[in-house]
Amino acid sequence: MTVSTLNDGPVARITLDNPDKRNAFDDRIIASLTEAFETVGCDDSIRVVVLQAAGKHFSAGADLNWMRAMGKLDAQQNRDDALRLARLMQVIDQCPKPVVARVQGAAFGGALGLICAADMAVAADNARFCLSEVKLGIVPAVISPYVVRALGARQANRYFMTAEVIPAERAVALGIVHEVVAESELDTSVDALVASLLSAAPQAQIEARELIAQVSHGPIDQAMLNHTADLIARLRTGAEGQEGLSAFLEKRKPNWR
Ligand code: COA
């Protein structure tokens, strides 16, 4: 088994489980991961997804045997295959449940795409990151929208072009992960994030993610004012908004807890 999903109440843990190959992913694993995220995304009993990996390393990124083999296919097959990895990143990014990445050891190449497509990430202090693609004569192509979103263009310039190894503490400063903790504290820190996520309203969380994407681009003009006003007007009249506001004022837990 190379990808497994374990549902623990409202939390789904999707595990990359091919440590002998450092959790490098090929077309088969990409298909399994995509299916795993699509499945938990549609499962009403799941509220939060943790993406994690077995063994010493989170992932060595794309399987380089597969990458080389795909480069020998005809142009259409080659492109279709690359699109399937692009689609996996999008499925994680747009998962209707918050996604937390739990990172230990090496996270190289495409692994950075998985992490940056997740909503948040916690790393062990032994984690190290590398956009190694240029050393292989390629570029971090399909992961770039998520990695550049996290790093910003200027920092991406450096790490896309040098393929330097990024230690865990620097990865926090760069925005790749949200926090670094001792390896022994990794599960505790992930669990704390999961608990915070479970305490919030599920639909509001997804609306919040969309809001961030929308206000990150474009001028703060009347159209943006209208959009943000429409959103709060809609959410505070909705069932979740009414329940959350009432629960606070009535000093009780909201019904999603
Ligand atoms: N694709 C295919 N196989 C890979 C791989 C990858 N991306 N990364 C590691 N492996 C394989 C190795 O070939 C080796 O196989 P073997 O046991 O049959 O010889 C096995 O996994 C262990 O790798 P090894 O390098 O000995 O592990 P390590 O723990 O010393 O180092 C890494 C781990 C991740 C730092 C190192 O494997 C590495 O740098 N991998 C390449 C990562 C990369 O550049 N990815 C970019 C993809 S675009």
Residue nearest to atom 36 of ligand 1 (CA): 60
**Predicted confidence (pLDDT) per residue in 100-115, tens digit:** 999 999 999 999 999 9
Q: How far away, in angstroms, is 179 Cα from ligand 1 center?
A: 25
- Mean pLDDT for the chain overall: 96
5 forms beta bridges with: 14
pLDDT on residue 1 = 78
Task: List the alpha helices (DSSP H) in 10-167.
Answer: 27-42, 64-70, 75-93, 110-117, 144-151, 153-162
Answer whether 141's CB lies under 8 Å from 82's CB.
Answer: yes
Residue 192 is classified by DSSP as H
61 within ligand 1 shell (Cβ under 6 A): yes
24 lines ligand 1 (CB under 6 A): yes
Q: By CB neighbour count within 10 A (0-12 exposed, 13-18 middle, 19+ buried), where does 195 fall?
A: exposed
What per-residue confidence (pLDDT) applies to 95?
A: 98
Does residue 88 carry a pLDDT above 90?
A: yes
Whole-number percent of the chain with pLDDT over 90 = 97
List the end-to-end C-alpha distance of the chain, in Å, as a whole number.
Answer: 34
**Residue nearest atom 35 of ligand 1, based on CA coordinates:** 106
Check residue 141 and report its DSSP letter.
T
109-149 residue pLDDT tens = 999 999 999 999 999 999 999 999 999 999 999 999 999 99
pLDDT band at 190 (very low <50, low <70, confident <90, very high): very high
Instruction: Tell me the pLDDT band of 2, cut-offs 50, 70 and 90.
Output: very high
The rounded percent of the chain whose pLDDT value lies above 70 is: 100
- Residue 244 has what pLDDT? 95
**How many whole angstroms from 206 Cα to the centroid of ligand 1?**
35
- In angstroms, what is the C-alpha Rg of the chain? 19
Q: What is the pLDDT of residues 24-42, one digit of tens each?
A: 999 999 999 999 999 999 9
How far apart are alpha carbons 104 and 122 in whole angstroms?
A: 9
Which overall architecture, per CATH, does domain 3-198 show?
A: Alpha-Beta Complex (3.90)
**Residue 14 confidence (pLDDT):** 98
Does residue 257 carry a pLDDT above 90?
Answer: no
Nearest CA to 194 among 127, 99, 117, 54? 99
pTM: 0.96
Asked if residue 71 has pLDDT above 90, the reply is: no
In a 3-state reduction of DSSP, which class is residue 109? Answer: coil
State the DSSP string of 54-92: SSS-SB--B-HHHHHHHTTS-HHHHHHHHHHHHHHHHHH
Q: Which of 141, 135, 94 is nearest to 113 (CA)?
A: 141
Tally the C-alpha atoms within 13 A of residue 88's C-alpha that lie toward its C-beta: 26
